[in-house]
Amino acid sequence: MRLRGIRRSKNVEVRGGGGARKGGIGIVGVLAVLAIGYFTGIDVSSLVGGTGSQQGTTVSEGDAKATQFSAQVLATTEDVWGRVFPEQLGRPYVPPQLVVFSNVTQSACGGASGASGPFYCPADQKAYLDTQFFDMLAQRMGAGGDFAAAYVIAHEVAHHVQNQLGILPKVDALRRQSSTAEANALTVRLELMADCLSGIWAANVKGLMERGDLDEALNAARKIGDDYLQKQAGRAPQPHTFTHGTSAQRSGWFQRGYDSGNVGQCDTFAADRL
């Protein structure tokens, strides 16, 4: 992904080892990442097909790069949805905040640990990236896996889009009065819609895409999901999902958004077949 010259979003908050601050996670955060990585054995770099072996640069350098990368990708989502909302939905877009945290942090959806994996909290309208994902970003910067990482950010922003459209609260209410199986089926539709919306984002940043980027995103859609992240992290608690679509469904819906660029094409709840 070509991000040179792309502005950085100001809606990024970096929370280091203790208090919240801007600019980097610092050595305390770095140590926490390494400790968490060691004790849980999570290799987040596998998310984008990396071997996790190319940790050549210093970590602080990688942090700065990854912060910049996240802020630039977030800026592209602001530009895309800031255009698509008025054009297709007749309303303005209010962008989310992106919180990059190390160790532990609080969200309006509860506490998140360093092993949380990316998630979106509708209650505070913030997307959260833990430093293990952050670390993976640093490792993959410019290494051909960057678009897959960008897709993950776009997917969390897509949940914010769903929240802006009132879909998250509606489905949440539905889920509450459903059996577990029915609730899971609703979650699948939410996730596939988010993948489709991510495809719309990708369709609007074609000018920034490099050879192989679309495949990277499709591959990521096949290989990673909230369930994958949760399983890797050995934990339960993301607010928005405990299940997902099949690989074919995920990549298929991403492709549908990418090909159509049309929010109306992403209505998974109206689809007979997923």
15: β partners:
20, 101
Nearest-CB residue for Zn ion = 226
Q: How far is CA 80 from the centre of its chain?
A: 16
From 59-67, 179-187, 209-217, 226-234, give the range in contact with Zn ion by CB under 5 A: 226-234
Burial class of residue 113 (count of CB atoms within 10 Å of its CB; 0-12, 13-18, 19+): middle
DSSP 97: E
Q: How far is the CB of 19 from Zn ion (least distance, A)?
A: 29
Binding residues among 117-156 for Zn ion as defined by CB under 5 A: none
* Nearer to Zn ion (CB atom), residue 66 or residue 196: 196
DSSP 20: B
Q: Does 78 bind Zn ion (CB under 5 A)?
A: no
Binding residues among 6-45 for Zn ion as defined by CB under 5 A: none
Binding mask 173-212 for Zn ion (x = CB under 5 A): ------------------x---------------------
Helix-then-strand count for the chain, H and E: 9, 6
Q: Say how far apart CA 73 and CA 1 lie, in whole Å.
A: 10
**Site residue total, Zn ion (CB under 5 A):** 2
Regarding beta strands 97-101 and 126-130, do their DSSP bridges make them parallel or antiparallel, or are they unpaired?
A: parallel
User: Which residue has tokens 């670390």?
Assistant: 135
Q: How far is the CB of 40 from Zn ion (least distance, A)?
A: 21
Q: In the set 226, 230, 254, 263, which binds Zn ion (CB under 5 A)?
A: 226
Residue 114, classed as helix, strand or coil, is: coil
* Nearer to Zn ion (CB atom), residue 45 or residue 198: 198
* Nearer to Zn ion (CB atom), residue 71 or residue 197: 197
Residues within the interface to Zn ion (CB under 5 A): 191, 226
